[in-house]
Structure 1
Amino acid sequence: MTQITTIDTCYGPIAQTIMEKAAKIRLLICDVDGVMSDGLIYQGNSGEELKAFNVRDGYGIRCLLTSGIEVAIITGRKAKLLEDRANTLGITHLYQGQSDKLLAYRELLDKLAVHPGDVAYIGDDLIDWPVMAEVGLSAAVADAHPLLLPKADYVTQIAGGRGAVRELCDLILLAQNKLDEAKGLSV
């Protein structure tokens, strides 16, 4: 019987193999609906689309960027409010309206000259799997589609839109000994 070595974190024990993958990450790619938001879409009387974003996720993203780790968004939907959120956080790589996320992913890799093994992706549904299958560290939020959960390298303890992105950001920073570097940032 093989024993799995784990590392204790504030999110519970994490397999050493996951921490080794996280230590290599130079780029985190996030889905939006169900990951950075809770997956609900609110529509105002004028037809405008509204979403809620968790400030903990925003803080984690800012910490990654401050630590020299790129962050990108690839999402199937398109919304002006997401451009605003990305700008607020300092995310310059935003791909919206992507029915084939793999194409956007490959374009991003070429643009940034990043190796797939140096990329983490966090998603929540089957549309995310083609990209997740190619990256060095694939993560699914706790409330992801049941068919996606067993395929992910890492499943967050926290649900989408509730701080799951922050959890993954913390894991990456911890694996790279950079968790203390970003104290005092604001979002």
Structure 2
Amino acid sequence: MTETPDDDARHNAKMAKKKAARDKIMATKTAEKGLVIVHTGKGKGKSSAAFGMIFRCIAHEMPCAVVQFIKGGMSTGERDLILAHFSDACRFHTMGEGFTWETQDRARDKEMAHSAWEQAKALIRDPEIRMVLLDEINIALRYDYLDVDEVVRFLRDEKPATTHVVLTGRNAKDALIEAADLVTEMELVKHPFRSGVKAQAGVEF
């Protein structure tokens, strides 16, 4: 279809009107606060998106930290990169020993989850740290290794006002979703695992 000068003019007028409306909305958004951010859902990308924010913090020279609740000793690109090049900017703690179906030891998993939560609380309380990623904490909450009410209460009452906390993992509990400022649910539409394709470096880890 051939566009005419009239088409361009209508488009420009439409975009100018949209920009004016958006500028008016944005002018009212002046507050800043530390956010509680939840990434959940069955789709891929929850931790990947969270690590994207961690790397943004590193780029902005904002001290940050990661606590991994479930993932154990396996090498991941994010962890290897941070430990090799950005350990001064991002504190990294892998506290889990693998996925629950691999450990098959509920008592040990619960003990490790509590240790990870204590580490997480110390990092969140540190006023110098601007963002803390609690990777796969939702899994620990799902299996009741941690008390969700305690986690929500801590985030509400003890998190510094300017600190962001990101919590990832599928099946986020309702109480956490209600308490959060920003919640994203990753929806599974299609995944290569169902076609027999294994997890691959650069995509999953």
Structure ranking higher in helix proportion = 2
Structure having the higher Rg: 2
- RCO greater where, 1 or 2, for CA within 8 Å and sep 6 or more? 2
Q: Same fold (TM over 0.5)?
A: no
TM-score, normalised via structure 1 length:
0.44
Structure ranking higher in strand proportion = 1
TM-score, normalised via structure 2 length:
0.41
